[in-house]
Amino acid sequence: MKLTIFKIVPYFVILMLILACTDNLSQLSDASNTTNTTVSTSTVTTIVHPGMLHNATDFIRMSTNVNAGNQPWLDGWNKLVANHHSSATYIARPVITIVRGTPANKAPENYILACQDAAAAYQEALRWKIMGDVACGNNAVKIMNAWAKTCTSIDGDSNADLAAGLQGYQWANAAEIMRDYSGWAPADFKAFKNWMLKVYYPVSYDFLNRHNGTCDTHYWLNWDMSNMCTVLAIGILCDDTTKVNYAINYYRNNGVGNGYIGRVCSAVYCNGMSQPQEAGRDQGHASMIVPLLGAFCTMATNQGQNLLDYNPFNEVNPRLLGASEYVASYNINTTNTVPYTTYNNCNNVNQTVIASNGRGTIRPGWELVYNYYVKLKGKAAPYTTQFAAKIRPEGGGGDYGTTSGSYDQLGFGTLTYTR
């Protein structure tokens, strides 16, 4: 494969770089022909609660530091409180059918309502869990009850799969935080879980299995990752180890799409960077991979399957950290350069250069990576460190614009992940 350096440098420097990376070039993962060379048989047998994006220890750390007025947790908390979605007066707007894309009946899109309300449920759940705000706890439950009682389906064209993937795991995370809330009637909690099982899970599971009848690598990585997040999160919420293990094994062993670890990044370099599968598409989507991959690996790790450190190919960094360093380096400013290897898929998209459109896109998600790998594991991640500092304190849904992109991730990592 060809290593392209986007900068004019002396020839001998390029030669040295190529020679230095020779061993690693043999590990590059072509999305069209990656062979699974490692199989993990470890499975989840008991579900841990709370055990999605945050565990019990995480919540103790958040509460302790916010109550003590410690930074940067306090700044993260203030960022949360300032978001209008976290207000106890926020009003849900549930619909019978969530529409993303154009369905057969030409109904207009309305999926942004689910984006906004899922973000609100999560944000208000955090305010209750961390500081005991009962009004926010009551409203988080009210929002989720309203959707469970009203919404019966997800519709549209293939984009309906994104509606399921991107918001399904967010709803589940809000519910996971609130599962021990005395103000959530057991019957209502059960109804919410049934809603997740009947409305969200079938769409995500079907997508991962069939990919709408396309060839296996037709869909971009964020489609696989978001739906993997939803299947995993619903499995945790509903104490269903079959669903949990299906999602984890899709990533580790046998996923037919780009969500398999061997296809998440289309190239791996000796400097520790990993080229995300969407790097040649645009930077808005390339930057989306970091929070989605981070969310998936964190939820699995909180269930005893450490995907944050999973590194079956003996690379310098796990795929999440390598992808974070790659995306952060290219997007922190317009002068940084990164290597790029031509990407192709089963539809012959043949992307020969890294995409510059969307460069500099800001999404929350780097605090998770920075705090886990740098502060907890002691790894070097200079670009992730810079990007996390640039965004700090991280906001969440609604803080980065009004379109759906602002709601593609739950955010607030400064508050929730700072060590």
d(CA 270, CA 346): 27
pLDDT above 90 coverage of the chain, percent? 89
Tokens of 296: 């998936």
Weakest mean pLDDT among 1-10, 113-122, 162-171: 1-10
Q: What is the mean pLDDT of residues 13-41?
A: 45
Helix (H, G, I), strand (E, B) or coil at 159: coil
11 pLDDT above the threshold of 90? no
If pLDDT is split at 50, 70 and 90, which confidence band does 15 have? very low
d(CA 411, CA 415): 9
Helices (H) and strands (E) in the chain, counts: 17, 6
* pLDDT digit string, tens, across residues 404-419: 999 999 999 999 999 9
Q: What is the mean pLDDT of residues 140-144?
A: 99
CA distances from 266 to 181, 208, 277, 368 (A): 43, 20, 5, 23
If pLDDT is split at 50, 70 and 90, which confidence band does 50 have? very high
**pLDDT for res 38:** 59
Q: Record the pTM.
A: 0.93
Q: What is the mean pLDDT of residues 12-35?
A: 40
d(CA 384, CA 317): 13
**pLDDT for res 185:** 98
Between strands 339-340 and 4-5, the pairing is: antiparallel
